[in-house]
Amino acid sequence: MKKDYPKFPMFVDLSRWKIYIYGGGAVATRRVETLRHFGPDITVVSPRISEKLRAILKEDPGIFSWDARSYHTNEIPAYGNVDLVLAATSDADLNHEIVRVCREHGIRVNNASNKEECDFYFPAIIFDENLVMGITSDGSDHRKVRKTAAYLRECLADPARKESQLMMNTEKKILCRIGTRESRLAVIQAEMVADFIDQVPGHVAELVTMKTTGDKILDRRLDRIGGKGLFVKELDLALKDGRSDLSVHSAKDLPMEVPEELPLVGFSRREDPRDVLVLPAGCREWDQSLPVGCSSLRRMVQLQALFPGIRFENVRGNVLTRLRKLDEGQYGALVLAAAGLKRLGLADRISRYFTTEEMIPAAGQGILALQGRAGENYSFLGGFLDEEAGYCITAERAYVRELDGGCSSPIAAHAVVENGRLKLRALYYSEEEKKFVTGTREGKPQEAENLGIALAQQLRAEMKGKK
């Protein structure tokens, strides 16, 4: 029989159900906030829980029970009469294992990290007195679900707006398809742009996700497989052949040279540009006998100067994968970008911030780069783009480009605009000498390109003078 829709919307009484949620982060928090209205017996199993979950527990301890530990292999059947399990940890492999055990014992399960392993989807819930509505998709278009739910809530809150809202929504709109890597962080960053576009009259956005070559090759350092340009090739191809209309990149992942037919449209406001130290979950002291998980030569040379004697091991994969490897004990610490952790809602994992003087960031760190097709009109993005970030990244990229360095080279550059002046601080590393020098240059923001070039020439000359 033909299957038209993936999941049947069935409303059930949860008041006698026993539900286990593995994980204590943002997803688990949303699940508890939703389920609390329906009266089930909820247990959250996780060594750590979010501040919001702590607040809920303090406000009403009867909402859920907290079992402050990690998952134990094959433990679920031992509970008996488990009705529902939610696998919502930050470890995709662990979530998969929980699904496997549940299915072996006929327990309904939802995997927050893999829509293909869900016996059911969590809908967006709308409450109106004694009315409950649930909205879901096939698990691939969360933005559309959120937008529809928000629209319905607005209509219920103010019925007088319903007719005008419906008329506005039936108007023909210009579709902007946004190409992005499929990692959770990349999708969140693309959604930031999409949410802005949806607010522009006459426009609507849609995400087009894809896996890039850099996402597929995880056993080698980036500088040994061609640099971070590997993260944009597939996105470039989608732009060229018309499968997407705009690409959203982490600016630090962009090659220094971009095709003329695919110009950079502009840049977002900068998020926190600093690098940070992340320790295993629950640890307060850094075990320096274990290696630091790091694949960036830029970070390695600066961290080695701060902490002589520490050793490194390559770590690849998205942020959540790296955190899982850290928590498994493979590393004593990770060095990551604060911006990515904050956008993922994982700022609580940060153990220490490095100042931009201690560890100069990668060119473009914390900024989103928007790339389009030559000849297209992207004026509707004007309200999203940030002029100051544009000046800063122009100086940073000019510095790296002048030194003929790719994004994975041990070169660093960070600019700020203060009191109408642009100040650029940068690092130049000599592979031959195994040393680095740093320096600064200051001038008008409009001179950003020339400032970057001049500082690159200055530091290169300084390094030659030290030989």
Taking only the tens place, the pLDDT of each residue in 229-240 is 555 888 999 999
- Measure the CA–CA gap between 331 and 327, rounded to whole angstroms: 8
More reliable by pLDDT, 173 or 226: 173
In terms of Cα–Cα distance, which of 28, 22, 17 is closest to 122?
28
- Please check the confidence at residue 254 and state whether its pLDDT lies above 60: yes
Bridge pairing between strands 131-135 and 174-181: unpaired
Burial class of residue 353, CB neighbours in 10 A (0-12, 13-18, 19+): middle
- Please check the confidence at residue 336 and state whether its pLDDT lies above 60: yes
Instruction: Supply the DSSP symbol for 90.
Output: S
Summary mean pLDDT of the chain: 87
Confidence of residue 305 (pLDDT cuts 50, 70, 90): very high
245, 253, 272, 275: the active-site residue: 253
Contact 182, 209 (CB under 8 A): yes
The CATH fold of domain 275-353: D-Maltodextrin-Binding Protein; domain 2 (3.40.190)
Contact 442, 422 (CB under 8 A): yes
Coil, helix or strand at residue 377: coil
- Please check the confidence at residue 220 and state whether its pLDDT lies above 50: no
Coil, helix or strand at residue 219: coil
- Note if 4 is an active site residue: no
Query: Hey, which residues does 42 pair with through a beta bridge?
Result: 19
User: Residue for token digits 């642009």?
Assistant: 422
More reliable by pLDDT, 439 or 10: 439
- Please check the confidence at residue 280 and state whether its pLDDT lies above 90: yes
Confidence of residue 132 (pLDDT cuts 50, 70, 90): confident
The verdict on pTM exceeding 0.85 is no
Bridge pairing between strands 174-181 and 246-250: parallel
Contact 361, 275 (CB under 8 A): yes
- Please check the confidence at residue 183 and state whether its pLDDT lies above 90: no
Helices 92-104 and 319-327 pack at an angle, to 10 degrees, of 80
Range with the lowest mean pLDDT among 163-177, 267-281, 349-363, 417-431? 163-177
Query: Residue 397 corresponds to which tokens in the numbers above?
Result: 């990229």
Superfamily, domain 172-269+366-385: Periplasmic binding protein-like II (3.40.190.10)
- Which phi and psi angles does 28 have, rounded to 5°? -60, -40
Please determine whether the domains at 18-122 and 172-269+366-385 fall in the same fold group of CATH: no
pLDDT at 224: 45
- Please check the confidence at residue 348 and state whether its pLDDT lies above 50: yes
Helices 184-198 and 319-327 pack at an angle, to 10 degrees, of 140
pLDDT at 225: 40
Domain 386-467 has CATH 3.30.160.40: yes
Range with the lowest mean pLDDT among 172-176, 199-203, 286-290? 172-176
Domain 18-122 has CATH 3.40.50.720: yes
In terms of Cα–Cα distance, which of 408, 411, 395, 414 is closest to 453?
395
The domain limits of the chain are: 18-122, 127-170, 172-269+366-385, 275-353, 386-467
In terms of Cα–Cα distance, which of 106, 134, 116 is closest to 35?
134
Range with the lowest mean pLDDT among 132-141, 146-155, 223-232? 223-232
Rg for the chain, CA atoms, rounded: 25
pLDDT at 228: 47
In terms of Cα–Cα distance, which of 63, 16, 62, 25 is closest to 45?
25
Query: Hey, which residues does 125 pair with through a beta bridge?
Result: 134
Amino acid identity, residue 190?
A: A
- Measure the CA–CA gap between 268 and 280, rounded to whole angstroms: 31
- Measure the CA–CA gap between 293 and 175, rounded to whole angstroms: 41
Range with the lowest mean pLDDT among 45-59, 120-134, 274-288, 303-317? 120-134
- Measure the CA–CA gap between 91 and 96, rounded to whole angstroms: 9
- Measure the CA–CA gap between 94 and 101, rounded to whole angstroms: 11
Q: How far apart are the first and last CA of the chain?
A: 76
- What is the percentage of the chain residues whose pLDDT exceeds 70? 89
Please compute the mean of the pLDDT values over residues 163-173 and round it to a whole number. 57
